[in-house]
Amino acid sequence: MSFSVVIPARFASSRFPGKPLADLAGKPMVQHVYERACESEAVRVIIATDDERIAAVARGFGAEVCMTSAEHPSGTDRLQEVVKTLGFYADDIVVNVQGDEPLIPPRIINQVAHNLMAMPNAGIATLSEPIETVEALLNPNVVKVITDHQGMALYFSRAPMPWPRDAFMQSQDTLPQGFDWQRHIGLYAYRVKMLNDFVAWPPAPLEQTECLEQLRALWNGVGIHVAAADEAPPAGVDTPEDLARIAKLMAHA
């Protein structure tokens, strides 16, 4: 079974306007993301954008482009517009690769797609990595995930979970031993049918409270498979400072 990759690339950004077109080692950043995705097993790689400047640049380096609305309330809504516009079938699998991750390993793109193929009871597959410090566990910007014994998500949260009651009653200075805390990695594979269902559902109370759109899927009974990433992805680019950091990493690679 094959899969496709969609790379959302918006020009508007409060912290870094024009981010997809920012120069990184002589290429626009979105081109690096596209090239990493093309190194995966995807049969099709599409850049989805609401900006003609990004579209023109992407077409210039040979990418397939799908223009989307600028009014989508979530990234999942944008992805659904792409699969609807391009006529994907309900059982097709699409991996959403964020346009600000120029060093994403192709290996984990393949991993998340294959995981979804192997889990017929899941509508979504995603990845995680270990949390190794108490600071990360307590940080609301680090999204935590817990699963059942089959790797199906029980919940995603910005709060520390599970809460190590006895250990934290004594001290919160170090991460307690005895549990494998996991940070969610925002790389998703979707079945197209789930995407079509998703946009018909209203935002869920949990989703609105935590500001995590994957909770809309859990709220509506969608199975989300979570696996430990085969390779930890480097942090993405949110600010110009992040871009400079990535450029240094690439220069010393």
Find, among 19, 10, 235, 20, the residue nearest to 141 by Cα.
235
Structure-block tokens of residue 1: 């079974």
> What pLDDT, on a 0 to 100 scale, did the predictor assign at position 14?
65
Is the pLDDT score of 246 beyond 70?
A: yes
Provide the residue ranges of all domains of the chain, joining segments of one domain with +.
4-232
Task: Give strand pairing partners of 152.
Answer: 225
pLDDT at 240: 83
Residue closest to 217 by CA, chosen among 160, 141, 156: 156
* Mean pLDDT computed over every residue of the chain: 93
Sequence-ordered alpha helix ranges (H) in the chain = 29-38, 52-60, 75-85, 106-117, 134-138, 165-170, 192-198, 205-210, 214-219, 240-251
Q: Does the domain formed by 4-232 have CATH 3.90.550.10?
A: yes
Q: Which residues pair with 225 in a beta bridge?
A: 125, 152
Coil vs helix vs strand at 75: helix
Q: Report the share of the chain in percent with pLDDT over 90.
A: 77
pTM of the model: 0.93
